[in-house]
Amino acid sequence: MTKRRIGIGLLYSRSGSYSLISEACRSGALAAIATVNADPDRDLAFVPVERDPQGNVDLYGPLCEEILRDTPARHVIGCVTSWSRKEVIPTLERHGGTLWYAVPYEGFEASDHVVYTHACPNQHLLPLLDWVMPAHGRKAYLTGSNYIWGWEVNRLARERITQAGGEIAGERYLPIGSRDVGRMIDEIRYARPNFILNSLIGPSSYEFLAAYRDLGQRDPHFLPQTCPVLSCNMTECELPAIGPAAEGLVAAGPYFRGIDGWPDAGRFGSSHEAAAYVAVLELARLLHGHPGAEALPLSQLVAQRGAGGIIDPETHHTVLPALIARVEGGAFRLLHRRAGVAGDPYLTRGTSAVIAPQLRVVS
């Protein structure tokens, strides 16, 4: 089959504080591009157009503009932080472009120009809280990096935990990149919560986990069995940077390596990789057999070609399994699974009422 050559933007930072996640997404996207290009049954081949914002949030808008203005690419796979995603949306609107976003985020967004292929809170945070409160107790300490991801995840956690009769023992934020975790550890030591929700990113998170492991060695209350650290954004791609301090960490996500789920189990190193891979394959499916479809705005593309695909036409979110897994011996082991959870970015579609039904702990 003759292949149409279609430009596809890649907007991932190859350096900076969250580069491990960018690299995971990027390799998932590149693997999918290679798959599509090698598939003789697809009438298209993707030509990657790469720009590297180097972890600088102010470069995302201009570089996205460069892709959409100076090249034929209309679809961009990219962005890790919510902050950078918000930066590129006006550019996407102006040029009728589409961003495929493959990272968990805090919800409360449903752009007409973005497809969200990773989890939002009803697919990560809420199942995680539903699991942890019956298992460990309702007294929480909340941490996060100082930007919208941590703020919003913790706001929602605070709301859910207090609704369930729990309490917030403390809440503290660090600037992105900061390793100044001493005060958090002190507060945790005195507050003695039942669990810690960690929405720190990059080096702040690695430092925190290392310091918390030390604390656990001094005081057994802070061992993972009694007071675990939870995360909605931790995946395999960051485990090497954390080392043994990751042991016992409990994370929520749509996919963990080696655990049956979504998509081809075992094929991907992390859910970031898997979500970016799925994004590119879905784009290929939408464009296959329809020359010119690559120039359509996302809403029209989904309206005309979306049937049988993964994109909810109203919210542009996807149906994902909600898995909860714990790091044991350097890999995630499944604790709990909720299958087929549709993304509900505004928590208005009935999933918001789910508080601790009878959950079965798989061990």
Partner 1 sequence: MRRPIRIPTLGGARAVILHRPHATVQALLRQLHAIGLEVTQAWPEAGAEALGADYLFFDADMGHDGLFPWPAGQPPMPLIALIGSEAPGRIEWSLRAGAHAQLLKPVGDNGAYSALLIARDAFDAQKALSAEIADLRRRLDGRQTVVRAVTLLATLGKTEEQAYAQLRQMAMAWRISFEDAAARIVAMRDGPEPGVQDG
SS (H, E, C) the chain: CCCEEEEEEEECCCCCCCHHHHHHHHHHHHHHHHHHHHCCCCCEEEEEEEECCCCCHHHHHHHHHHHHHHCCCCEEEECCCHHHHHHHHHHHHHHCCEEEECCCCCCCCCCCCEEECCCCCCCCHHHHHHHHHHHHCCEEEEEEECCHHHHHHHHHHHHHHHHCCCEEEEEEEECCCCCCCHHHHHHHHHHCCCEEEEECCHHHHHHHHHHHHHHHHHCHHHCCCCCCEEECCCCHHHHHHHHHHHCCCEEEECCCCCCCCCCCCCCCCCHHHHHHHHHHHHHHHHHCCCCCHHHCCHHHHHHHHCCCCCECCCCCEEEEEEEEEEEECCEEEEEEEEEEEECCCCCCCCHHHCCCCCCCCCC
Site string for partner 1, 203-242 (x = CB under 8 A): ----------------------------------------
Q: State the nearest-atom distance from the C-beta of 296 to partner 1, in Å.
A: 16
Counting contacts by CB under 8 A, is residue 113 touching partner 1? Answer: yes
Counting contacts by CB under 8 A, is residue 270 touching partner 1? Answer: no
Which of 47, 57, 110, 334 is close enough to bind partner 1 by CB under 8 A?
A: 110
Q: State the nearest-atom distance from the C-beta of 349 to partner 1, in Å.
A: 6
Backbone angles phi, psi at 210, to 5 degrees: -65, -45
Which of 50, 66, 112, 167 is close enough to bind partner 1 by CB under 8 A?
A: 112
Piece of 6-14, 213-221, 330-338, 341-349 that binds partner 1 (CB under 8 A): 341-349
Counting contacts by CB under 8 A, is residue 352 touching partner 1? Answer: yes
Which of 146, 319, 346, 354 is close enough to bind partner 1 by CB under 8 A?
A: 346
Six-digit token pair at 228?
A: 């675990």
Counting contacts by CB under 8 A, is residue 83 touching partner 1? Answer: no
Piece of 22-30, 111-119, 235-243, 274-282 that binds partner 1 (CB under 8 A): 111-119
Which of 31, 33, 73, 89 is close enough to bind partner 1 by CB under 8 A?
A: 89
Piece of 27-35, 72-80, 277-285, 342-350 that binds partner 1 (CB under 8 A): 342-350
Counting contacts by CB under 8 A, is residue 87 touching partner 1? Answer: no
**C-beta of 157 vs 324, nearer to partner 1:** 157
Which of 178, 299, 319, 331 is close enough to bind partner 1 by CB under 8 A?
A: 299
The site for partner 1, by CB under 8 A, has a size of: 20
165 CB-side CA count, 13 A:
5
**C-beta of 182 vs 313, nearer to partner 1:** 313
> Distance (Å, rounded) from C-alpha 138 to C-alpha 209?
21
Q: State the nearest-atom distance from the C-beta of 315 to partner 1, in Å.
A: 5
Counting contacts by CB under 8 A, is residue 154 touching partner 1? Answer: no
3-class state of residue 149 by DSSP: helix
Residue with tokens 């049988």: 308
Site string for partner 1, 119-138 (x = CB under 8 A): --------------------
Which of 151, 164, 349, 354 is close enough to bind partner 1 by CB under 8 A?
A: 349
Counting contacts by CB under 8 A, is residue 109 touching partner 1? Answer: yes
Give the residues lining the site for partner 1 (CB under 8 A).
89, 93, 108-113, 159, 299, 314-316, 345-350, 352
